[in-house]
């Protein structure tokens, strides 16, 4: 690993660190160290990073702003690549926008709303990156990424790049082909929006933000929704009806505001969160015979 770090540093490709605690890079403030942590400063440097990773047969994964993610206390083997500045370009042509995978989804939706473009109102409170949102088909308020994305520019681990259409992304509820079938990195996304009334769009954005503030625990570190909704049921309502709001294990607690959120109430470990997740699964199945599936992505060493 030392040789890989030396090679990456010699190329001046951005930030390169060994044994970087991922608690510093996740919204729930939990996670052990990554063997190798890389924050490329450009798309070209990201391609160089992937070439070195493939040459050395290193396991790897990408993170954006660290939401929807629970990292093991033992950390992650191999390389963790964080997309951010340098991979956050934005261009607007009429009602079509092309945006880099490292761009903040919240700041994008805010910026676009002020230009009178409609379609991203649902994303006003989703604390992730554009790349992460495309990767998991993020959504809220009755809409999701699949409804506005026309194509995505993907870098695959063998170094090839390809534009995938909405159909080729194989979107479904909180999933895409990138999660298992075709692992890759979202370099850019192209969204087709529509012209609208700026005042109405901004007002809807604010309404969505206000709703999140009064219904979700924004004042505690958390990873977002923990469970997928087992439609036609809703995870939060099932957890609430089971009397689990406020239930805690160690430093992890089910939010008293919303049953589908687990918060880091103070020095929580990933083990605490995982034990709480299992308790919810067991309780809901015992009461309702419904299998709960996690929406949060759980990664790292066992």
Task: For 196-227, write each residue's pLDDT tens digit.
Answer: 999 999 999 888 888 888 888 888 999 999 99
Both 117 and 180 in one domain: the answer is: yes
Contact 106, 127 (CB under 8 A): yes
What does the pLDDT read at residue 95?
97
Would residue 258 count as lying in a domain?
yes
Contact 65, 295 (CB under 8 A): no
Distance (Å, rounded) from C-alpha 43 to C-alpha 121?
Answer: 28
The SS3 call for residue 286 is helix
Would residue 205 count as lying in a domain?
no
What does the pLDDT read at residue 126?
85
Distance (Å, rounded) from C-alpha 102 to C-alpha 186?
Answer: 9
Examine the residue annotation and report whether 225 is marked as an active-site residue of this protein: yes
> Among 73, 29, 65, 27, which Cα is nearest to 224's?
27
Residue 56: give its domain's CATH number.
3.30.43.10
The last residue of one of the domains, among 22, 54, 82, is 82
Number of CB atoms found within 10 A of residue 33's CB? 21
What does the pLDDT read at residue 59?
93
Residue 291: give its domain's CATH number.
3.90.78.10
Both 97 and 73 in one domain: the answer is: no
Residue 270's region, left for phi above 0, alpha for psi from -120 to 50, else beta, is alpha
Distance (Å, rounded) from C-alpha 51 to C-alpha 57?
Answer: 10
Distance (Å, rounded) from C-alpha 17 to C-alpha 122?
Answer: 35
- Longest Cα pair distance anywhere in the chain, in angstroms? 58
What does the pLDDT read at residue 112?
93
Domains held by the chain: number: 3
Low-confidence residues of the chain: pLDDT under 50? none
Catalytic residue among 174, 188, 212, 269: 174
Both 95 and 195 in one domain: the answer is: yes
Both 94 and 78 in one domain: the answer is: no
* Phi, psi (deg, nearest 5) at residue 122: -60, -25
Q: How far apart are the two ends of the chain, measured CA to CA in Å? A: 21
Cα dihedral: 175, 179, 182, 187 (round 10): 90
Would residue 236 count as lying in a domain?
yes
Structure pTM? 0.89
Would residue 171 count as lying in a domain?
yes
The last residue of one of the domains, among 149, 170, 199, is 199
Both 45 and 120 in one domain: the answer is: no
Both 100 and 193 in one domain: the answer is: yes
What does the pLDDT read at residue 223?
95
Would residue 204 count as lying in a domain?
no
> Among 53, 3, 21, 298, which Cα is nearest to 179's?
298
Would residue 206 count as lying in a domain?
no
Both 165 and 76 in one domain: the answer is: no
Both 54 and 140 in one domain: the answer is: no
Both 169 and 143 in one domain: the answer is: yes
Both 247 and 193 in one domain: the answer is: no
What does the pLDDT read at residue 225?
93
The SS3 call for residue 184 is strand
What does the pLDDT read at residue 213?
83
Catalytic residue among 20, 188, 295, 297: 295
Both 192 and 156 in one domain: the answer is: yes
Residue with tokens 């190798």: 36
The last residue of one of the domains, among 82, 108, 132, is 82
Would residue 11 count as lying in a domain?
yes
Residue with tokens 């999660």: 179
Both 12 and 59 in one domain: the answer is: yes
Residue 12 domain boundaries: 2-82
Assigned token pair, 177: 């082909």
Examine the residue annotation and report whether 93 is marked as an active-site residue of this protein: no
Catalytic residue among 176, 225, 255, 269: 225
Q: Tens digit of pLDDT for each residue in 110-128?
A: 999 999 999 999 998 888 8
Would residue 212 count as lying in a domain?
no
Residue 131: give its domain's CATH number.
3.30.465.10
What does the pLDDT read at residue 287?
98
């Amino acid at each position: 690993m030392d040789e890989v770090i030396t090679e990456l540093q010699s190329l001046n490709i951005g930030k390169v660190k060994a044994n970087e605690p991922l608690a510093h890079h996740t919204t729930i403030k939990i996670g052990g160290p990554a063997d190798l942590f890389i924050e490329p400063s450009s798309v070209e440097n990201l391609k160089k990073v992937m070439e070195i990773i493939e040459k050395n047969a290193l396991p790897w994964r990408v993170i954006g702003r660290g939401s929807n993610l629970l990292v093991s206390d033992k950390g992650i083997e191999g390389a963790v690549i964080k997309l951010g500045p340098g991979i956050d370009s934005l261009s607007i042509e009429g009602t079509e926008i092309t945006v880099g995978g490292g761009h903040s989804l919240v700041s994008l939706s805010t910026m676009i709303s002020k230009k009178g473009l409609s379609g991203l109102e649902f994303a006003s409170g989703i604390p992730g990156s554009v790349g992460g949102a495309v990767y998991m088909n993020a959504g809220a308020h009755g809409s999701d990424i699949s409804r506005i994305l026309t194509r995505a520019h993907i870098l695959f681990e063998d170094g090839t790049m390809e534009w995938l259409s909405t159909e080729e992304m194989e979107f479904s509820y909180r999933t895409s082909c990138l999660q298992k079938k075709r692992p890759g990195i979202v370099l850019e996304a192209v969204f087709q929006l529509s012209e609208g009334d700026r005042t109405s769009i901004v007002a809807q954005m604010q309404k969505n933000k206000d709703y999140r503030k009064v219904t979700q625990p924004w004042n505690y570190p958390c990873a977002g929704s923990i469970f997928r909704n087992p439609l036609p049921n809703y995870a939060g309502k099932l957890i609430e009806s089971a009397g689990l709001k406020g239930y805690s294990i160690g430093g992890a607690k089910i939010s008293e505001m919303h049953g589908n959120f687990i918060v880091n109430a103070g020095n929580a470990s990933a083990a605490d969160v995982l034990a709480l997740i299992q308790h919810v699964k067991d309780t809901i199945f015992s009461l309702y015979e419904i299998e709960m599936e996690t929406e949060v992505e759980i990664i790292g060493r066992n």
